[in-house]
Amino acid sequence: MSLTAIAESPESTSELSRISPTGSNHEQRLLRRYQSGDVAAREELVHLFLPLTRRLAGRYRHTGESIDDLEQVASLGLIKAIDRYDPDLGSFVRYAVPNIIGELKRHFRDKGWGMRVPRSMQERFLQVNKALGDLSGELGRSPTPRDVAEHTGLSLEEVLEALEATAAYAPAPLDAPYPGDLDGDRTLGDSLGSEDPGYGLVELGEALTPAFRALPPREQTILKLRFIDDLTQSEIADQLGISQMHVSRLLRRSLDRLAAAAQGQR
């Protein structure tokens, strides 16, 4: 059963209606007074139904949201219900409950999530979190995902997805300590990967290999001595028995050929 169906079920509404200690006749008198322009009656109605808002807000206490914030959102839903209520709609409690639940769900959808996720996933997240709270009391231990799946009628995969969505509801800051780091020097940001320039060099090497092998042997030697062995042009000239000027010309010519080959690959 969905959260909306639970909230609007006759059993749930009947149970919640017993929160008001003064009875429905008193509620109706206050509603009529308010609709006749008595602003004070509205305040009395809000005070009368505060236990109702706290009860409904408490259903979402396992979401990690502050209970004070949840009760404020639920109270806002109550005020809207009082302002919009029409006696022709029937029982005020039956009208107020889905309005308060709707306000809570809008809060989670629009403001509670640190990242945008589909509404169906938000509904499933709330359903799974409620089941976790209910089952913890029933089982006397932390429920497993399979326990939650059997309790809610969801598949095991759907439960696991909802549990993973917790990270989207309240993402951890990158400067938070890395789990298991006893010294506390490492942060979550330190665990993020970065672009490795080595991959680009591998691709470039694959592109230049045929062009390098096509160079005369002496030019291959000069490139190796210059860029692998890190010799200067003068040192290369001494080793090969040629002038430094000749080394410079050969080096420039071979580099131009490799550059042309690389450009052709692009």
Spell out the domain ranges in the chain: 1-112, 115-171, 197-265
Tell me whether domains 1-112 and 197-265 share a fold. no
Report the pLDDT averaged over residues 205-221. Answer: 87
Read off the pLDDT of residues 61-73 as tens digits, 9 standing for 90 and up.
766 677 888 899 9
Question: Residue 125 burial (CB < 10 Å; 0-12/13-18/19+)?
Answer: buried
Q: Radius of gyration (Cα) for the chain, nearest Å?
A: 35
DSSP state of 196: -
- Measured in residues, the chain has a length of 266
pLDDT at 114: 57
Read off the pLDDT of residues 155-169 as tens digits, 9 standing for 90 and up.
999 999 888 876 666
Per DSSP, helices labelled H in 50-144 are 50-58, 67-84, 92-107, 119-139
Q: Per-residue pLDDT for 35 more than 70?
A: yes
- Element (DSSP H or E) covering residue 227: helix 217-227
Q: Per-residue pLDDT for 138 more than 50?
A: yes
What CATH number belongs to 197-265? 1.10.10.10
The encoded tokens of residue 119 equal 């509404």
pLDDT at 20: 46
- Sign (positive or negative) of CA dihedral 66, 68, 71, 72: negative
State the Cα–Cα distance between residues 60 and 78, nearest whole angstrom.
Answer: 16
What CATH number belongs to 1-112? 1.20.120.1810
Read off the pLDDT of residues 82-106 as tens digits, 9 standing for 90 and up.
998 888 777 888 889 999 988 888 8
What CATH number belongs to 115-171? 1.10.10.10
Q: Per-residue pLDDT for 250 more than 90?
A: yes
Q: Per mean pLDDT, which range of 52-56, 60-64, 252-256 is the poorest?
A: 60-64
Q: Per-residue pLDDT for 15 more than 50?
A: no
pLDDT tier for residue 126 given thresholds of 50, 70 and 90 = confident
pLDDT at 110: 66
pLDDT tier for residue 14 given thresholds of 50, 70 and 90 = very low
Q: Which residue has the higher pLDDT, 219 or 189?
A: 219
pLDDT at 180: 65
Residues 254/222, Cβ–Cβ less than 8 Å: yes
- Residue 83 DSSP SS3: helix
Q: How many beta carbons lie within 10 A of that of residue 132, not counting itself?
A: 19
pLDDT at 184: 62
